[in-house]
Amino acid sequence: MLIKRKSIEKEESSRPASAKAPAKPRKPKYAPVTLSEFDGVRYLHFGTEWVQGAMRIRKPNWPELEYAQQMMAWLLWLEQPRHIAQLGLGTGALTKFCYATFPEASVSAIELNPSVITICESMFKLPPNDARLDVREQDALDFVNDKANFDTLDVLQVDLYDATARGPVLDSAEFYQACRNCLNDDGIMTVNLFGDHPSYARNLKAIKFAFAQVICLPQVHDGNVVAIAFRRARPLDLPALTARAAQIVAATKLPAKSWVKGIAAN
């Protein structure tokens, strides 16, 4: 299972304009949004077998997939985030969990495909926008390049894939530099990468170029690798991280102790 979202979601005509009149801009093309259910879990797809996200129907706010849980590993360093943003909504797993878990924080989610937002509202228990929650239809690249967002985020969670399993949609050094610019000095980014794909090395190189420090958690069985990127470098105090992990487990039930073991192994 993998989450991906790429050029299918924003494909424009490559044909040259007519000599007589400029071609009309084409609307973005999106892969079809489809669902499946198995053993009490509802899955989101973009018309393929690739899983874009999942929700256990009896626990709609819980991040069901292991890599989604790892995307919360920034909690090892940040206890009380004020502004959290997700690039790529998926089933809204991270958005819902952050919104429910941190009542003092504002949560923003940026999603290009309006059908994904609609299906999250109707089938994945995404709550409506309010003073703390801002789910918007927007290109993630526009969001990170907007100077109004610079230095505003404590946490940025990046999960940008399409139906094709070709690696993240946005993967340039410039994109990751813009992500860094959106974080405050203590800010942390987590990114979902595909460890068994050639895009992995390219993305990791770009992230390391943009950020002061990068840690990768061990690959999960579905092939996902979560990278943790810090705007400013931090010492890796394993005893302190272990103690913090115990607090996270007690407060959220997230498997934070396994994150520390993975960090220590690297």
pLDDT recorded at residue 50 = 86
Per-residue pLDDT, averaged over 54-79, amounts to: 98
pLDDT tens track for 124-138 = 999 999 999 999 999
pLDDT tens track for 222-258 = 789 999 999 999 999 999 999 999 999 999 999 999 9
DSSP codes joined into one string, the chain? ------GGGG----SPPPSSSPPPPPPPP-PPPEEEEETTEEEEESSSSS--EEEETTBTTS--SHHHHHTTGGGGT-SS-SEEEEES-TTSHHHHHHHHH-TTSEEEEEES-HHHHHHHHHHS-PPPP-SSEEEEE--HHHHHH-GGGTT-EEEEEE----TT-SS-S---HHHHHHHHHHEEEEEEEEEEEETTSTHHHHHHHHHHHHSSEEEEPPPPTTSEEEEEEESS-----HHHHHHHHHHHHHHH---HHHHHHHHHH-
pLDDT tens track for 149-161 = 999 999 999 999 8
Domain 7-11+18-265, CATH number (from 3.40.50.150, 3.40.50.1360, 3.30.460.10, 3.20.20.70): 3.40.50.150
pLDDT tens track for 83-112 = 999 999 999 999 999 999 999 999 999 999
* pLDDT at residue 36 greater than cutoff 80: yes
pTM comes to 0.88
pLDDT tens track for 194-227 = 988 889 999 999 999 999 999 999 999 878 999 9
